[in-house]
Structure 1
Amino acid sequence: MRFELLLVVTAVISITAKPQSKAAQRNKLLLISFDGFRWDYDQDVDTPNLDQLVLDGVKAKYITPPMLTMTSPSHFTTITGRWVEDHEVVHNMMFDTKTNLKVPHKKTLTRSEWWDNGPLPLWITAQNQGLKTASFFFPGGGANYSGQAVNRVLLEDFNHPDDNETEWRENIDKVMSWFSEEDFHLVTLYYGEPDNVGHAKGPDHPDRKKIIMQIDRTIGYLREAIVRHQLTDTLNVIITSDHGMTTVKKRPQVDEIILNKYLNLLKLASFEILDYGGFGILTPRPGKEQEVFDALSKAPNLTVWKKEEFPESFHLAKSKRLPPIVVVADLGFNLNSRFIVYVNKGDHGYHSGEMDMKTIFRAFGPDFKKNFISDPFDSIHIYPLMCKLLQIEPAPHNGSLSATENLLNGGPQMTCLPVSLLLVLLLLRFTLL
């Protein structure tokens, strides 16, 4: 009798101990990017909702974006887990060094030939494994990848205002309905602030603090919306950014770097983008590479590299798209090729090692720890973390889950024993006495 009862108990335990199906266990994921949110922007502003996230979730002290610290290259590293030299989105502007084509940033967002270079973004990898995904203004979401499109895509109009708080809340309501009513698994949501204010007014301007308070209110609204849509136990949220921002040094404090003073660009260069923040690219005319390099090396407050001599930490040397000469200004100095009037009071594009280029990371939800502060990590490691949360096999990537897995709740989840099993165990106890 004891042996037969033991067999029954063993069978019941084996049935109840089987893990739930992946579909039942899988939680949803919302990735939010606030463009240009520097790592310390919340430290001089009253941000009760961001502060609460530290208690209710996880925070990294800061994260390091890739070289290049620009919107499209950095966002695509986050969504692919690939260095810029691998995914080849090497600038905000689509360009062709042979034809001198230059496409503005907003128009580049829909040009698949700029984005579709082999590495697959997370949307497509997730869709190929049966998940439903959406991109809400997120860079890269508007392209096709080997003919595949993201399930649902919303794109910004060219003159879309980025600071409308009412619209920000409406966007959150839309996204919450996608999760709760249409069973989307992954949504990426992009906001163009505080980048615009940082450029126009500078990171130290009072209006930057105002937009951070608006972001904080929006995060509070997001958390309320999660509760309203009954997603508290099933939705993970990651909040991050693409790069930081620094104050641009201007006259009379410093002289502007006008590169045409040091070399004749018309004579020596066949292609250049040298008026775009702290980062510039240049294709010398045939046989003029060394002359261009030597001339630029004499210019102050910048560093010039031949592509093949990039530091390994840049992860740019293998790029086929980047021109042979790359220029990075010292922090806060803007590059000016000739005589273009430079109006930005803040900018980025500088070396990713500069603290002003570092950015934020917050996360909360059922799979994240609470009240946990992480050491800094590179943004490339967000990709394998997202794959882990979505329980999908990642595409080839350069990130490592070991950099972020300490953010997650560890160990198997405890499951309450069913009443039938408790009765059997009680019966066994009395029978064996």
Structure 2
Amino acid sequence: MDRRLQLFLLLSVSSAAAVPLSKAASGQRNRLLLISFDGFRWDYDQDVDTPHLDQLGKDGVRAKYITPPMLTMTSPSHFTTVSGRWVEDHEVVHNMMFDAKTNLKVPHRQTLTRSEWWDNGVLPLWITAQNQGLKTGSFYFPGGAANYSGQAVNRVVVEETRPANETEWKQNIDTVLSWFSEEDFHLVTLYFGEPDRVGHAKGPDHPDRKSMIRQIDRTIGYLREAIDRQHLSDSLNVILTSDHGMTTVKKRPQVEEIVLNKYLNLIQLASFEILDYGGFGILTPRPGREQDVFDALSKAPNLTVYKKNEFPENFHLAKSERLPSIVVVADLGFNLNSRLIVYVNKGDHGFHNGEMDMKTIFWALGPDFKKNFLSEPFDSIHIYPLMCKVLQIEPAPHNGSLSVTEKLLLHGGSQRNGVSVGLLLTLLCSLSRL
């Protein structure tokens, strides 16, 4: 055979090997379903029988744990996942929309639909994907109901309650999968409010939390059955993650609970505060009183007080224009109370993201992911470039790195076409001997 013809055939085989089978056969890219179970601590599956999650790890990839951004709260962390930006860049700095100058405070549920809180110049994955011709949807996912530079997500279902009903969960899964199978969506984000709610109400060690993990496990089993039933197994990638962990709240008589007004007169020294909100608090001192506030809070036990311009670099919060000048982070398990102890939660988050109780989960499976692969821990900010790679889109500017997560992927898809790198090398060696 003519060597030029041989070389042409070899290059043809190489080119075919670089294209995933599903893409080559259908002319379409693989799709992505991003699922978040709020408040799923990294080790919640270790004290409960979870056969479906165990099988998910064998059929796909999982990380030992992932580290959420600082702040370990629902809205800030979720928006880091879908934007790949630190909180100081995307500026969703709290679950509540607030304005320290006007004393505005908007509850979390209402904040979900307030675009002025979410739209700060950073584009989330939905909009970046849409701008490159993809069809996207959000089902209950934080940030999905906002407009970004005038653009809305193609399909949005806004969370009105946090249903724990297993039947409703299955219905939501069926709805989302129908968007893929019947309407050719490329990206959908799906949010569940558990096990966060039961973790708050009962604490992470309560039997009800374990029951909820079993329910989540059954839901994953249902999801996989539904994916097969709707013939999506060869084209749909699934990423399963969360926003933060959960820890037990320390209360009297075991500990002396924090009441900040014991250490400073809030009426005299502060013009704005959100302090009765778990382990993270913010405070605007009155003019000229910042040092007084800082000094007073520095004497309070079981917390750390920061001036915003002196944040540790790894917090990635110092550049935020929204955060007030004083931030308080309680020690693990201690809730911040401003004047009275009114906090009823048995479990909470919002603490330092270096604490193991704040770490969370990552599983993934589908045609673009390896099988039975356990990853070392990584920061959640690196999920964004991974999702862009899976969707084959150019990412918006971000702080993550694909080099951290690309080892989870089947590189180039050559194994799915039955043509291995080893075979190509063999062919090259054969040609060299001709």
- TM-score range with shorter-chain normalisation? over 0.9
Structural mapping, 1:290-301, within 5 Å:
290-301=291-302
Matched, 1:337 2:338: yes
**1:53: how far off?**
1.1
Check conservation: 2:259, 2:341, Cα contact below 8 A: no
- Identical positions, percent: 79
2:357 corresponds to which residue? 356
2:66 corresponds to which residue? 63
Matched letter for residue 288 of structure 1: R
Matched letter for residue 122 of structure 1: L
Structural mapping, 1:108-119, within 5 Å:
108-119=111-122
Q: After TM superposition, what 4+ stretches of structure 1 lie above 2 angstroms from structure 2?
A: 6-25, 414-417
Q: Work out which of the two has the higher radius of gyration on C-alpha atoms and give 1 or 2.
A: 1
Separation in 1, partners of 2:200, 2:314: 27
1:69-104: CA deviation from partner (whole Å, max 9, x where unpaired): 000000000000000000000000000001100000
Structural mapping, 1:125-140, within 5 Å:
125-140=128-143
Structural mapping, 1:125-164, within 5 Å:
125-157=128-160, 160-164=161-165
Partner-residue secondary structure (3-state), 2:350 = coil
Separation in 2, partners of 1:412, 1:154: 34
1:327 corresponds to which residue? 328
Check conservation: 2:52, 2:221, Cα contact below 8 A: yes
Q: Identify unmatched segments of 5+ residues in structure 2.
A: 420-433
2:403 corresponds to which residue? 402
Given the superposition, is the C-alpha separation of residues 148 and 42 from structure 1 closer, same or farther in structure 2, using an over 3 Å criterion? same
1:430 corresponds to which residue? none
1:300-352: CA deviation from partner (whole Å, max 9, x where unpaired): 00000000000000000000000000000000001000014110000000000
Separation in 2, partners of 1:15, 1:359: 44
Q: Choose the corresponding residue for 1:42, options 42, 45, 52.
A: 45
Matched letter for residue 54 of structure 1: G
1:331-387: CA deviation from partner (whole Å, max 9, x where unpaired): 000100001411000000000000000001001111111111000000000000000
**1:11: how far off?**
5.8
1:429 corresponds to which residue? none
1:262 corresponds to which residue? 263
**1:413: how far off?**
1.3
Separation in 2, partners of 1:130, 1:254: 56
Matched, 1:372 2:389: no
Given the superposition, is the C-alpha separation of residues 416 and 399 from structure 1 closer, same or farther in structure 2, using an over 3 Å criterion? closer
Structural mapping, 1:84-103, within 5 Å:
84-103=87-106
Matched, 1:213 2:230: no
Matched letter for residue 405 of structure 2: T
1:126-185: CA deviation from partner (whole Å, max 9, x where unpaired): 00000000000000000000000000000011xx24201101000110111110111100
Separation in 1, partners of 2:392, 2:254: 53
Partner-residue secondary structure (3-state), 1:321 = coil
Given the superposition, is the C-alpha separation of residues 172 and 36 from structure 1 closer, same or farther in structure 2, using an over 3 Å criterion? same
Separation in 2, partners of 1:138, 1:333: 28
Matched letter for residue 349 of structure 1: G
1:237 corresponds to which residue? 238
Question: What RMSD over aligned residues (CA atoms) do the two structures have, in Å?
Answer: 1.9
Given the superposition, is the C-alpha separation of residues 306 and 41 from structure 1 closer, same or farther in structure 2, using an over 3 Å criterion? same
> How many pairs align?
415
1:425 corresponds to which residue? none
Matched, 1:122 2:125: yes
Separation in 2, partners of 1:393, 1:161: 34
Matched, 1:52 2:59: no
Separation in 2, partners of 1:67, 1:161: 24
1:422 corresponds to which residue? none
Partner-residue secondary structure (3-state), 2:173 = helix
Tell me the TM-score normalised to structure 2 length: 0.92
Identify which range, 161-170 or 93-102, moves more after superposition.
161-170
Given the superposition, is the C-alpha separation of residues 416 and 301 from structure 1 closer, same or farther in structure 2, using an over 3 Å criterion? closer
Separation in 2, partners of 1:295, 1:8: 81
Partner-residue secondary structure (3-state), 2:219 = helix
Structural mapping, 1:383-422, within 5 Å:
383-413=384-414, 415=417
Matched letter for residue 196 of structure 1: R
Given the superposition, is the C-alpha separation of residues 228 and 131 from structure 1 closer, same or farther in structure 2, using an over 3 Å criterion? same
Matched letter for residue 67 of structure 1: M
**1:256: how far off?**
1.1
